[in-house]
Chain A
Amino acid sequence: MIPTYEEIYAALAERHGAELQKKLSTARTAVCGLGGLGSNIAVCLVRAGVGHVRIIDFDRVDISNINRQQYFLEQIGQYKTDALYEILKKINPYCEIVRTNVRLNGENIPEILGSEDIICEAFDDPEAKAELVNCVLERLPEKYLIAASGMAGLISANLIKTRKVAKRFYLSGDGESDVSEGTGLVSSRVMVCAAHQAHKAIQIINALSTT
């Protein structure tokens, strides 16, 4: 038996407190890129009871993703948006998950992200990261933006930090460890960075005033 909305909400409110849970359940978030960062960020947000998560990617699940992304082997070949939707709905069927199966670019970003409040940048390509961040900062300055740079390799996970760059722009990561040099992406270190981003999103939601 799947619990009712009221039962799940009560369990979340007992853990987080009624005030925070109310804010989480009305928050509007978007996760851009559903790889090692994005699939883990989305799972954190939905487990915390965030009420609305838009999940955006154009790619399909590949066997090379399984080392650090939330997908299951049986989902190989599926669109990441569909595969992650299934996973998130198993965690909380009452969370509003919106699937956007596109490649984000300077043209479509303002329209797709215009109705969200908190945007998580979770791409892997550095130029795509920069394009999204610049576009959001230039065109959607009222949004909160949490981006990531530097989470590859086996060096200390303690080097991953989140810092405030501008009024509504935060950056997680060590700032340096590039996937093209060295060990590649290891589940534990990528998840640390994803958790940093999700945690900052939850902190921002908590600081928002309920209107």
Chain B
Amino acid sequence: MVRINGEMNDASGKSIAQLLEALGYPPQRVAVELNMEIVPKAEYSETFVKDGDSVEIVRFVGGG
């Protein structure tokens, strides 16, 4: 199991790009941390999550 924004998810083996698509996050409006380290945007398709990982997806909405 993978912890995504605090909730357990059966996402092991998926790429960050696949996770974002499955959860409905627009990739151009997020920042993603994997185990407290930033995942570079260029590596979303080739970064895979495994059991025990913790993923934090920060989503930006408009307004300022």
Chain B residues whose CB sits within 8 angstroms of the CB of A152 once the complex forms: 61-63
A36-B64, A127-B28, A134-B31 known; A149-B59 Cβ under 8 A: yes
Residue of B31, B33, B37 with most chain A CB atoms under a 10 A cut-off: B31
Total count of chain A residues near the partner, CB < 8 A: 37
The 8 Å CB contact of A133, one of B36, B60, B61, B63, is B60
How many residue pairs bridge A and B at CB < 8 Å?
Answer: 81
The 8 Å CB contact of B64, one of A38, A176, A177, is A38
A165-B58, A166-B38, A167-B36 known; A133-B31 Cβ under 8 A: yes
CB–CB B29/A130 < 8 A: yes
Q: How does the 8 Å CB contact mask read for B25-36 relative to A, with 1 for contact and 0 for none?
A: 000111101001
A133 to B62 Cα, complex, angstroms: 14
B53: interface (CB < 8 Å): no
A134-B38, A134-B41, A137-B38 known; A124-B30 Cβ under 8 A: no
CB–CB A130/B63 < 8 A: no
A111: interface (CB < 8 Å): no
A151: interface (CB < 8 Å): yes
CB–CB A138/B64 < 8 A: no
Chain A residues whose CB sits within 8 angstroms of the CB of B60 once the complex forms: 126-127, 129-130, 133, 147, 149
In the assembled complex, how far is the CB of residue B20 from the closest CB belonging to chain A, in whole angstroms?
12
Chain B residues whose CB sits within 8 angstroms of the CB of A150 once the complex forms: 61, 63
B24: interface (CB < 8 Å): no
Q: How does the 8 Å CB contact mask read for A130-154 relative to B, with 1 for contact and 0 for none?
A: 1001100110010000011111100
CB–CB A190/B61 < 8 A: no
Beyond contacts A38-B64, A179-B63: 8 other A-B pairs, Cβ-Cβ < 8 A, are A36-B63, A124-B63, A127-B60, A130-B29, A141-B38, A147-B58, A149-B61, A151-B64
Which residues of A approach B to under 8 Å, CB–CB? Answer: 33, 35-38, 122-127, 129-130, 133-134, 137-138, 141, 147-152, 165-167, 169, 171, 175-180, 185, 190
Q: Give 21 pairs: A residue, B residue, CB < 8 Å, sorted on A.
A: A36-B63, A38-B64, A125-B62, A127-B28, A129-B29, A129-B64, A130-B30, A133-B31, A133-B58, A138-B40, A147-B60, A150-B63, A152-B62, A166-B37, A166-B56, A167-B36, A177-B61, A180-B62, A185-B63, A185-B64, A190-B64
